[in-house]
Amino acid sequence: MTQNSFRGKTVLLTAGPTQEPIDPVRFISNHSTGKMGYALAEGFAERGALVQLVAGPTNLQARHENIKLTKVTTADEMHAAALQLADAADVWVFAAAVSDYRPRTAADKKIKKTGNELTIELVKNVDIAAVLGQRKKPGQFSVGFALETHDESTNAREKLRKKNLDMIVLNSLNDPGAGFSHDTNKVTILEQEATTAFELKQKSEVAQDIINLIWDRLHG
């Protein structure tokens, strides 16, 4: 594969967590650092792609000139940004850890401690990959991520089908060194008719494995 193998291609890539506000000082989120998504962004950019990176709150910086960063906070903001960019992209990679639920209402002032219990009503967030999957056009290639703790392959394949993905990257919290907060990851890539497993690697190397397989499928 040449250095500029993705030249002329646009990649829409979501990364990092989302934060769903409870009040001005509290929010619902997860442990995602965005490292895997940013490694993918750098990898695609180094191969010549224009990368439209839609990222939730992280401490990371996108350094390559081919990466166009859109910062968002909530799932709704990430959905709106991805929707705006999706039609012009050749490849979609949904690497963000989007919060599944958000508070139905966010208080405009800090909630004070007034009792032994606090009930917060949660509502489901939009499934960005699934919504965009319904409007995917011929020639567009979509990749999702699945972080699982049990029935890993079964759950990932169900997401592959429901979200109209071409490929899903599965990682398990049961694998040491994989998942949130680590600089390493261990993934299995599932497709409709294929499964490709990789050993534990640095996330920068995992990104290259994913990008290489996407390139193979686009040119196979």
Active centre residues (catalytic): 30
Distances from the Cα of 52 to the Cαs of 45, 81, 90, 98, 202, in angstroms?
Answer: 10, 10, 11, 17, 23
Residue 148: which of 158, 138, 139, 133 has the closest Cα?
158
Residues 100, 128: Cα–Cα separation, whole Å: 10
3-state secondary structure of 76: helix
Q: Is 155 exposed, middle or buried (0-12, 13-18, 19+ CB in 10 A)?
A: middle
